[in-house]
Chains A and B, each alone.
Chain A
Amino acid sequence: MLIPVQSILLEWVSIYGIKPDLSLWFVYLIGFLHGEWKGGLMGVLCGIIFDSFSPGKFGMNIFIKGLLGFTAGFLGRALLETKALFHFGMLFFFSIIQGILIYWFLLIGGESVIFREVFFQIILPQALYDCVLGGLMINLIFAIPQIQAYSLREKGI
Protein backbone atom coordinates (compact mmCIF):
# COMPACT_ATOMS: atom_id res chain seq x y z
CA MET A 1 0.00 0.00 0.00
CA LEU A 2 2.95 2.28 0.68
CA ILE A 3 3.96 2.79 -2.94
CA PRO A 4 0.46 3.50 -4.31
CA VAL A 5 -0.14 6.00 -1.50
CA GLN A 6 3.31 7.57 -1.90
CA SER A 7 3.26 7.79 -5.70
CA ILE A 8 -0.43 8.51 -6.35
CA LEU A 9 -2.22 9.98 -3.35
CA LEU A 10 0.61 12.15 -2.07
CA GLU A 11 0.77 13.95 -5.43
CA TRP A 12 -2.38 15.73 -4.28
CA VAL A 13 -0.65 17.12 -1.19
CA SER A 14 2.65 17.98 -2.84
CA ILE A 15 3.81 21.58 -2.45
CA TYR A 16 5.74 22.92 -5.46
CA GLY A 17 6.27 19.30 -6.52
CA ILE A 18 7.68 18.13 -3.14
CA LYS A 19 5.95 15.20 -1.44
CA PRO A 20 6.56 14.02 2.15
CA ASP A 21 8.31 10.67 2.56
CA LEU A 22 5.82 8.28 4.18
CA SER A 23 8.29 5.42 4.21
CA LEU A 24 10.70 7.49 6.31
CA TRP A 25 8.00 8.14 8.93
CA PHE A 26 7.11 4.48 8.96
CA VAL A 27 10.71 3.28 9.31
CA TYR A 28 11.35 5.83 12.07
CA LEU A 29 8.21 4.76 13.96
CA ILE A 30 8.94 1.04 13.72
CA GLY A 31 12.58 1.57 14.69
CA PHE A 32 11.66 3.78 17.65
CA LEU A 33 9.05 1.33 18.92
CA HIS A 34 10.71 -2.01 18.21
CA GLY A 35 14.44 -1.40 18.34
CA GLU A 36 17.44 -1.45 16.04
CA TRP A 37 17.04 -4.76 14.23
CA LYS A 38 13.35 -4.48 13.45
CA GLY A 39 13.84 -0.84 12.47
CA GLY A 40 16.74 -1.77 10.22
CA LEU A 41 14.82 -4.65 8.66
CA MET A 42 11.79 -2.48 7.99
CA GLY A 43 14.11 0.11 6.44
CA VAL A 44 15.60 -2.52 4.15
CA LEU A 45 12.16 -3.73 3.07
CA CYS A 46 10.93 -0.19 2.37
CA GLY A 47 14.17 0.49 0.51
CA ILE A 48 13.65 -2.55 -1.74
CA ILE A 49 10.17 -1.35 -2.65
CA PHE A 50 11.38 2.21 -3.25
CA ASP A 51 14.31 1.14 -5.39
CA SER A 52 12.04 -1.11 -7.48
CA PHE A 53 9.92 1.88 -8.48
CA SER A 54 12.63 4.50 -8.71
CA PRO A 55 15.09 4.93 -11.59
CA GLY A 56 18.03 5.42 -9.22
CA LYS A 57 20.65 2.82 -8.42
CA PHE A 58 19.16 -0.33 -6.92
CA GLY A 59 20.42 -0.62 -3.35
CA MET A 60 20.62 3.10 -2.59
CA ASN A 61 17.38 3.30 -0.63
CA ILE A 62 17.93 -0.15 0.84
CA PHE A 63 21.12 1.04 2.47
CA ILE A 64 19.89 4.50 3.48
CA LYS A 65 16.51 3.51 4.91
CA GLY A 66 18.00 0.46 6.61
CA LEU A 67 20.61 2.67 8.28
CA LEU A 68 18.00 5.23 9.37
CA GLY A 69 15.70 2.50 10.74
CA PHE A 70 18.59 1.06 12.74
CA THR A 71 19.47 4.51 14.10
CA ALA A 72 15.85 5.19 15.05
CA GLY A 73 15.81 1.88 16.91
CA PHE A 74 18.94 2.82 18.79
CA LEU A 75 17.42 6.15 19.80
CA GLY A 76 14.20 4.47 20.90
CA ARG A 77 16.08 2.16 23.25
CA ALA A 78 18.38 4.86 24.59
CA LEU A 79 15.65 7.38 25.43
CA LEU A 80 13.10 6.62 28.10
CA GLU A 81 10.94 9.67 27.79
CA THR A 82 10.66 12.13 24.96
CA LYS A 83 9.06 15.54 24.69
CA ALA A 84 6.52 16.32 21.96
CA LEU A 85 9.02 18.36 19.91
CA PHE A 86 11.54 15.55 19.92
CA HIS A 87 9.93 13.63 17.07
CA PHE A 88 9.58 16.81 15.00
CA GLY A 89 13.28 17.49 15.38
CA MET A 90 14.32 13.89 14.77
CA LEU A 91 12.28 13.54 11.59
CA PHE A 92 13.78 16.79 10.28
CA PHE A 93 17.27 15.51 11.08
CA PHE A 94 16.64 12.07 9.58
CA SER A 95 15.18 13.60 6.39
CA ILE A 96 18.21 15.90 5.99
CA ILE A 97 20.61 12.97 6.52
CA GLN A 98 18.65 10.88 4.01
CA GLY A 99 18.85 13.70 1.45
CA ILE A 100 22.58 14.16 1.91
CA LEU A 101 23.21 10.42 1.63
CA ILE A 102 21.15 10.24 -1.58
CA TYR A 103 23.17 13.18 -2.97
CA TRP A 104 26.44 11.34 -2.22
CA PHE A 105 25.18 8.15 -3.83
CA LEU A 106 24.16 10.07 -6.98
CA LEU A 107 27.52 11.83 -7.10
CA ILE A 108 29.40 8.55 -6.72
CA GLY A 109 27.16 7.06 -9.41
CA GLY A 110 28.33 9.73 -11.86
CA GLU A 111 25.17 11.86 -12.00
CA SER A 112 25.65 15.59 -12.31
CA VAL A 113 24.10 17.05 -9.19
CA ILE A 114 24.89 20.44 -7.69
CA PHE A 115 24.60 20.33 -3.90
CA ARG A 116 23.34 23.89 -3.50
CA GLU A 117 20.54 23.27 -6.00
CA VAL A 118 19.38 19.92 -4.64
CA PHE A 119 19.65 21.11 -1.04
CA PHE A 120 17.32 24.06 -1.50
CA GLN A 121 15.06 22.46 -4.11
CA ILE A 122 14.62 18.96 -2.65
CA ILE A 123 16.40 18.16 0.65
CA LEU A 124 15.34 21.14 2.78
CA PRO A 125 11.70 21.42 1.59
CA GLN A 126 11.20 17.67 2.03
CA ALA A 127 12.77 17.79 5.50
CA LEU A 128 10.42 20.60 6.55
CA TYR A 129 7.41 18.77 5.18
CA ASP A 130 8.45 15.50 6.87
CA CYS A 131 9.13 17.32 10.13
CA VAL A 132 5.75 19.05 10.31
CA LEU A 133 3.39 16.35 9.03
CA GLY A 134 5.36 13.32 10.11
CA GLY A 135 6.09 14.76 13.54
CA LEU A 136 2.41 15.50 14.05
CA MET A 137 1.37 12.01 13.03
CA ILE A 138 3.97 10.28 15.17
CA ASN A 139 3.07 12.38 18.21
CA LEU A 140 -0.57 11.46 17.71
CA ILE A 141 0.33 7.80 17.53
CA PHE A 142 2.47 7.98 20.64
CA ALA A 143 -0.35 9.73 22.49
CA ILE A 144 -2.39 6.51 22.31
CA PRO A 145 -2.08 4.85 25.77
CA GLN A 146 -1.75 1.34 24.32
CA ILE A 147 1.17 2.47 22.17
CA GLN A 148 2.85 4.09 25.16
CA ALA A 149 2.42 0.92 27.24
CA TYR A 150 3.71 -1.21 24.37
CA SER A 151 6.73 1.07 23.97
CA LEU A 152 7.60 0.78 27.66
CA ARG A 153 7.20 -3.00 27.52
CA GLU A 154 9.53 -3.19 24.53
CA LYS A 155 12.09 -1.18 26.48
CA GLY A 156 11.83 -3.65 29.36
CA ILE A 157 10.07 -1.32 31.80
Chain B
Amino acid sequence: MFRFLLGNRRFLLLFLFFLLSILLLSTKLRDVSLSFVEKPLVAVISGIEIVFSSLIHGVGSFWEGYVDLTGVKEENQRLRMEIERLKAETGRLQDIQFTNQRVNELLGFIQESPLGLSAARVIGRDPGNWYQTLIINKGSADGVHEDMGVMTPLGVVGRVIKVKPKMAQVLLMVDRNSAIAALVERTRDEGMVQGNDRDKIFMKYLPLTAEVGVGARIMTSGLAGFFPKGLLIGTVVNVVKEETDLFKKLQIRPAVDFSKLEEVLIITSLPSPDPKELIKDKLF
Protein backbone atom coordinates (compact mmCIF):
# COMPACT_ATOMS: atom_id res chain seq x y z
CA MET B 1 0.00 0.00 0.00
CA PHE B 2 2.79 2.37 0.89
CA ARG B 3 4.52 1.56 -2.37
CA PHE B 4 1.22 2.32 -4.18
CA LEU B 5 0.89 5.61 -2.34
CA LEU B 6 4.51 6.63 -2.84
CA GLY B 7 4.23 5.82 -6.52
CA ASN B 8 0.99 7.76 -6.89
CA ARG B 9 1.29 11.39 -5.66
CA ARG B 10 -2.40 12.25 -5.95
CA PHE B 11 -3.42 9.41 -3.75
CA LEU B 12 -0.64 10.35 -1.33
CA LEU B 13 -1.93 13.88 -1.04
CA LEU B 14 -5.46 12.64 -0.50
CA PHE B 15 -4.27 10.23 2.20
CA LEU B 16 -2.39 13.03 3.98
CA PHE B 17 -5.45 15.33 4.01
CA PHE B 18 -7.56 12.46 5.33
CA LEU B 19 -5.07 11.83 8.10
CA LEU B 20 -4.93 15.55 8.96
CA SER B 21 -8.68 15.83 9.25
CA ILE B 22 -8.84 12.79 11.57
CA LEU B 23 -6.08 14.30 13.66
CA LEU B 24 -7.90 17.66 13.87
CA LEU B 25 -11.18 16.00 14.74
CA SER B 26 -9.55 14.00 17.44
CA THR B 27 -7.95 17.11 18.96
CA LYS B 28 -11.32 18.85 19.01
CA LEU B 29 -12.87 15.89 20.69
CA ARG B 30 -10.14 15.96 23.31
CA ASP B 31 -10.60 19.77 23.80
CA VAL B 32 -7.14 20.59 22.69
CA SER B 33 -6.89 24.19 21.68
CA LEU B 34 -5.83 24.84 18.12
CA SER B 35 -6.16 28.59 18.41
CA PHE B 36 -2.67 29.08 16.93
CA VAL B 37 -4.23 27.78 13.68
CA GLU B 38 -7.77 29.14 13.97
CA LYS B 39 -7.03 32.70 14.94
CA PRO B 40 -4.97 33.78 11.97
CA LEU B 41 -7.30 31.87 9.64
CA VAL B 42 -10.44 33.51 11.07
CA ALA B 43 -8.79 36.91 11.00
CA VAL B 44 -7.96 36.63 7.33
CA ILE B 45 -11.30 35.20 6.29
CA SER B 46 -13.38 37.60 8.40
CA GLY B 47 -11.47 40.50 6.94
CA ILE B 48 -12.44 39.34 3.48
CA GLU B 49 -16.02 38.84 4.67
CA ILE B 50 -16.19 42.41 6.01
CA VAL B 51 -15.04 43.82 2.73
CA PHE B 52 -17.56 41.80 0.74
CA SER B 53 -20.37 42.59 3.15
CA SER B 54 -19.68 46.35 2.98
CA LEU B 55 -19.64 46.18 -0.78
CA ILE B 56 -22.94 44.36 -0.97
CA HIS B 57 -24.52 46.62 1.64
CA GLY B 58 -23.40 49.69 -0.26
CA VAL B 59 -24.87 48.42 -3.49
CA GLY B 60 -28.11 47.56 -1.68
CA SER B 61 -28.36 51.06 -0.12
CA PHE B 62 -27.75 52.65 -3.46
CA TRP B 63 -30.55 50.57 -4.89
CA GLU B 64 -32.98 51.44 -2.10
CA GLY B 65 -31.92 55.08 -1.92
CA TYR B 66 -32.19 55.93 -5.60
CA VAL B 67 -33.41 53.34 -7.98
CA ASP B 68 -36.27 52.03 -5.83
CA LEU B 69 -37.33 55.54 -4.59
CA THR B 70 -39.52 56.32 -7.56
CA GLY B 71 -42.09 53.92 -6.22
CA VAL B 72 -41.83 55.40 -2.72
CA LYS B 73 -42.29 58.96 -4.02
CA GLU B 74 -45.52 58.07 -5.83
CA GLU B 75 -46.85 56.23 -2.81
CA ASN B 76 -45.95 59.21 -0.61
CA GLN B 77 -47.92 61.56 -2.88
CA ARG B 78 -50.89 59.20 -2.95
CA LEU B 79 -50.87 58.94 0.85
CA ARG B 80 -50.65 62.73 1.25
CA MET B 81 -53.68 63.21 -1.01
CA GLU B 82 -55.54 60.56 0.95
CA ILE B 83 -54.69 62.40 4.21
CA GLU B 84 -56.00 65.70 2.77
CA ARG B 85 -59.18 64.01 1.60
CA LEU B 86 -59.72 62.40 5.00
CA LYS B 87 -59.06 65.72 6.78
CA ALA B 88 -61.68 67.43 4.60
CA GLU B 89 -64.11 64.58 5.23
CA THR B 90 -63.52 64.81 9.01
CA GLY B 91 -64.16 68.56 8.89
CA ARG B 92 -67.39 68.02 6.96
CA LEU B 93 -68.60 65.35 9.36
CA GLN B 94 -67.79 67.54 12.35
CA ASP B 95 -69.79 70.36 10.79
CA ILE B 96 -72.72 67.98 10.24
CA GLN B 97 -72.45 66.88 13.85
CA PHE B 98 -72.57 70.49 15.15
CA THR B 99 -75.48 71.34 12.83
CA ASN B 100 -77.29 68.22 14.02
CA GLN B 101 -76.76 69.24 17.62
CA ARG B 102 -78.06 72.75 17.00
CA VAL B 103 -81.08 71.52 15.07
CA ASN B 104 -81.92 68.99 17.81
CA GLU B 105 -81.78 71.75 20.41
CA LEU B 106 -84.04 73.94 18.28
CA LEU B 107 -86.47 71.07 17.76
CA GLY B 108 -86.57 70.37 21.48
CA PHE B 109 -87.24 74.03 22.18
CA ILE B 110 -90.02 74.21 19.55
CA GLN B 111 -91.73 71.12 20.97
CA GLU B 112 -91.61 72.42 24.56
CA SER B 113 -92.58 76.02 23.83
CA PRO B 114 -96.22 77.16 24.02
CA LEU B 115 -95.52 79.56 21.12
CA GLY B 116 -96.15 78.73 17.48
CA LEU B 117 -92.59 78.62 16.10
CA SER B 118 -91.11 78.05 12.66
CA ALA B 119 -87.39 77.47 12.22
CA ALA B 120 -85.52 79.26 9.44
CA ARG B 121 -81.91 79.39 8.29
CA VAL B 122 -79.97 82.63 8.00
CA ILE B 123 -78.84 82.93 4.38
CA GLY B 124 -77.44 86.44 4.30
CA ARG B 125 -77.12 89.84 5.88
CA ASP B 126 -77.77 93.41 4.82
CA PRO B 127 -75.53 94.29 1.87
CA GLY B 128 -74.84 97.77 3.24
CA ASN B 129 -73.61 99.20 6.54
CA TRP B 130 -76.63 101.37 7.37
CA TYR B 131 -78.98 98.68 8.62
CA GLN B 132 -78.54 95.60 10.78
CA THR B 133 -80.68 92.95 9.13
CA LEU B 134 -80.67 89.25 8.37
CA ILE B 135 -82.07 87.44 5.37
CA ILE B 136 -83.78 84.14 6.17
CA ASN B 137 -84.89 81.34 3.89
CA LYS B 138 -88.62 81.44 4.68
CA GLY B 139 -91.17 83.81 3.25
CA SER B 140 -94.87 84.36 2.63
CA ALA B 141 -95.16 80.94 1.00
CA ASP B 142 -94.18 79.46 4.39
CA GLY B 143 -96.66 81.55 6.38
CA VAL B 144 -94.28 84.34 7.38
CA HIS B 145 -95.73 87.86 7.63
CA GLU B 146 -94.35 91.28 8.41
CA ASP B 147 -93.96 92.21 12.07
CA MET B 148 -93.58 88.63 13.26
CA GLY B 149 -91.07 88.34 16.08
CA VAL B 150 -87.87 86.37 15.59
CA MET B 151 -85.96 84.68 18.38
CA THR B 152 -83.62 81.85 19.31
CA PRO B 153 -83.71 79.65 22.44
CA LEU B 154 -81.25 82.17 23.94
CA GLY B 155 -83.41 85.22 23.43
CA VAL B 156 -84.86 87.90 21.18
CA VAL B 157 -83.35 88.52 17.73
CA GLY B 158 -85.64 91.05 16.04
CA ARG B 159 -88.72 91.25 13.83
CA VAL B 160 -89.65 90.58 10.22
CA ILE B 161 -89.80 93.79 8.18
CA LYS B 162 -89.87 92.63 4.56
CA VAL B 163 -91.35 89.44 3.15
CA LYS B 164 -90.99 87.87 -0.27
CA PRO B 165 -92.39 84.49 -1.33
CA LYS B 166 -89.30 82.46 -0.42
CA MET B 167 -87.32 84.76 1.85
CA ALA B 168 -87.75 87.45 4.45
CA GLN B 169 -85.70 90.22 6.00
CA VAL B 170 -85.36 90.50 9.78
CA LEU B 171 -84.49 93.78 11.48
CA LEU B 172 -82.13 93.00 14.32
CA MET B 173 -82.65 94.33 17.82
CA VAL B 174 -79.35 96.27 17.57
CA ASP B 175 -80.53 98.36 14.60
CA ARG B 176 -81.32 102.01 15.44
CA ASN B 177 -84.82 101.57 13.96
CA SER B 178 -85.67 98.71 16.29
CA ALA B 179 -87.80 99.32 19.39
CA ILE B 180 -89.09 96.60 21.72
CA ALA B 181 -91.29 97.10 24.77
CA ALA B 182 -89.41 95.65 27.71
CA LEU B 183 -89.34 95.36 31.47
CA VAL B 184 -86.79 94.67 34.18
CA GLU B 185 -87.37 91.12 35.39
CA ARG B 186 -86.88 91.76 39.11
CA THR B 187 -88.44 95.19 39.62
CA ARG B 188 -90.99 95.04 36.73
CA ASP B 189 -90.08 98.61 35.66
CA GLU B 190 -91.08 99.13 32.05
CA GLY B 191 -89.23 100.89 29.28
CA MET B 192 -88.25 100.66 25.62
CA VAL B 193 -85.22 98.80 24.24
CA GLN B 194 -83.59 100.44 21.22
CA GLY B 195 -80.49 99.64 19.21
CA ASN B 196 -77.67 101.98 18.22
CA ASP B 197 -76.43 100.28 15.01
CA ARG B 198 -73.55 98.29 16.48
CA ASP B 199 -73.67 95.60 19.14
CA LYS B 200 -75.12 97.79 21.89
CA ILE B 201 -78.73 98.24 22.89
CA PHE B 202 -80.20 100.63 25.41
CA MET B 203 -83.29 100.52 27.56
CA LYS B 204 -84.76 104.00 27.74
CA TYR B 205 -87.57 105.84 29.53
CA LEU B 206 -87.08 104.09 32.85
CA PRO B 207 -88.24 106.12 35.83
CA LEU B 208 -85.43 107.76 37.76
CA THR B 209 -86.58 105.91 40.88
CA ALA B 210 -86.16 102.50 39.27
CA GLU B 211 -83.73 100.39 41.28
CA VAL B 212 -81.82 98.56 38.61
CA GLY B 213 -78.20 97.48 38.78
CA VAL B 214 -75.64 95.77 36.61
CA GLY B 215 -76.57 92.15 35.93
CA ALA B 216 -80.33 92.70 35.94
CA ARG B 217 -82.20 90.71 33.27
CA ILE B 218 -84.36 92.54 30.75
CA MET B 219 -87.38 90.72 29.31
CA THR B 220 -90.05 91.52 26.75
CA SER B 221 -93.17 93.02 28.29
CA GLY B 222 -95.55 91.68 25.65
CA LEU B 223 -97.09 95.11 25.06
CA ALA B 224 -96.03 95.69 21.45
CA GLY B 225 -97.46 92.52 19.96
CA PHE B 226 -94.36 91.18 18.22
CA PHE B 227 -93.23 89.19 21.22
CA PRO B 228 -94.98 87.47 24.06
CA LYS B 229 -94.18 88.46 27.61
CA GLY B 230 -91.11 87.01 29.27
CA LEU B 231 -88.59 86.48 26.46
CA LEU B 232 -85.03 87.36 27.44
CA ILE B 233 -83.56 90.42 25.71
CA GLY B 234 -80.27 90.76 27.58
CA THR B 235 -78.54 91.80 30.80
CA VAL B 236 -77.65 95.24 32.09
CA VAL B 237 -73.95 96.16 31.80
CA ASN B 238 -74.14 99.84 32.64
CA VAL B 239 -76.57 102.36 34.14
CA VAL B 240 -76.40 105.67 32.26
CA LYS B 241 -77.81 108.68 34.04
CA GLU B 242 -76.95 112.32 33.56
CA GLU B 243 -77.97 115.25 35.77
CA THR B 244 -80.40 116.72 33.26
CA ASP B 245 -82.05 113.45 32.23
CA LEU B 246 -85.71 112.88 32.97
CA PHE B 247 -85.37 109.14 32.64
CA LYS B 248 -82.81 106.48 33.48
CA LYS B 249 -81.05 104.71 30.63
CA LEU B 250 -79.55 101.22 30.78
CA GLN B 251 -76.91 99.78 28.47
CA ILE B 252 -77.71 96.15 27.76
CA ARG B 253 -75.65 93.28 26.43
CA PRO B 254 -77.92 91.22 24.14
CA ALA B 255 -78.50 87.60 25.08
CA VAL B 256 -77.95 86.56 21.46
CA ASP B 257 -74.62 86.83 19.60
CA PHE B 258 -75.78 88.24 16.26
CA SER B 259 -72.50 87.54 14.50
CA LYS B 260 -72.93 83.77 15.01
CA LEU B 261 -76.58 83.30 14.07
CA GLU B 262 -77.20 80.38 11.72
CA GLU B 263 -80.77 79.33 12.57
CA VAL B 264 -83.61 81.41 14.02
CA LEU B 265 -87.20 80.80 15.14
CA ILE B 266 -90.06 82.87 13.77
CA ILE B 267 -92.96 83.37 16.17
CA THR B 268 -95.92 82.51 13.97
CA SER B 269 -98.52 82.54 16.75
CA LEU B 270 -98.65 83.78 20.31
CA PRO B 271 -100.19 81.72 23.12
CA SER B 272 -103.82 82.51 23.98
CA PRO B 273 -104.04 84.73 27.06
CA ASP B 274 -105.05 83.07 30.31
CA PRO B 275 -108.73 84.03 31.03
CA LYS B 276 -107.88 84.52 34.74
CA GLU B 277 -105.18 87.02 33.81
CA LEU B 278 -107.65 88.86 31.54
CA ILE B 279 -110.21 89.16 34.35
CA LYS B 280 -107.51 90.31 36.78
CA ASP B 281 -106.45 93.00 34.30
CA LYS B 282 -110.03 94.22 33.90
CA LEU B 283 -110.70 94.38 37.65
CA PHE B 284 -107.44 96.00 38.79
Q: Please give the distance in Å from A132's CB to the nearest CB on chain B.
A: 16
Dominant secondary structure at the A interface:
helix
Asked if B125 and A55 sit within 8 Å, CB to CB, the answer is no
- Produce 1/0 per residue, B151-194, CB < 8 A to A: 00000000001100000010100001100000000000000000
> Given the interface contacts A7-B135, A112-B176, A113-B176, does A54 sit within 8 Å of B126 by beta carbon?
yes
Interface size on A, residues (CB 8 A): 27
The digit string for B122-138, where 1 denotes a CB below 8 A from any CB of A, is: 01111111110101000
| A16-24, A32-40, A76-84, A135-143: which lies at the interface | A16-24
Q: In the bound complex, do residue A56 and residue B130 qualify as a contact, i.e. CB atoms below 8 Å apart?
A: yes
Interface flag for B197 (CB, 8 Å): yes
- A111, B177: Cβ atoms closer than 8 Å: yes
Q: How far is the CA of A59 from the CA of B260 in the complex (A)?
A: 31
How far in angstroms is the closest Cβ of chain B from A35? 26
Please tell me if the beta carbons of B129 and A7 are within 8 angstroms of each other in the complex.
no
Contacts of A4 in B (CB 8 A): 124
Give every chain A residue within 8 A of B128 (Cβ-Cβ): 19, 21, 50, 54, 56
The number of residues on chain B lying at the interface, defined by a beta carbon within 8 Å of a beta carbon of chain A, is 20
- Which residues of chain A are within 8 angstroms of B199 by Cβ–Cβ distance? 17
Judged by a CB distance under 8 angstroms, whether A11 is at the interface is yes
CB distance from B257 to the nearest CB of A (A): 13
Cα of A11 to Cα of B127 in the assembled complex, Å? 9
How far, in angstroms, from A117 to B198 measured CA to CA in the complex? 11
Is B131's CB under 8 angstroms from A56's CB? yes
* Chain B nearest Cβ from A41, distance in angstroms: 20
Q: Which of these, B125, B133, B177, contacts A11 with CB under 8 Å?
A: B125
What are the residues of chain A within 8 A of B130 when measuring CB–CB? 54, 56, 102, 106, 118, 122
Say whether A122 contacts B135, CB under 8 Å: no
Q: What 4 A-B pairs have minimum CB-CB distances, sorted nearest first? A: A7-B124, A6-B127, A7-B127, A122-B129
Give 19 A-B pairs besides A54-B128, A106-B130, A118-B130 with Cβ atoms closer than 8 angstroms: A3-B127, A7-B127, A11-B125, A17-B129, A18-B129, A21-B128, A23-B127, A50-B128, A53-B126, A53-B127, A53-B169, A55-B161, A55-B162, A55-B169, A55-B177, A56-B128, A56-B131, A122-B129, A126-B129
A residues adjacent to B (C-beta < 8 A): 3-4, 6-8, 11, 16-19, 21, 23, 50, 53-56, 102, 106, 111-113, 117-118, 121-122, 126
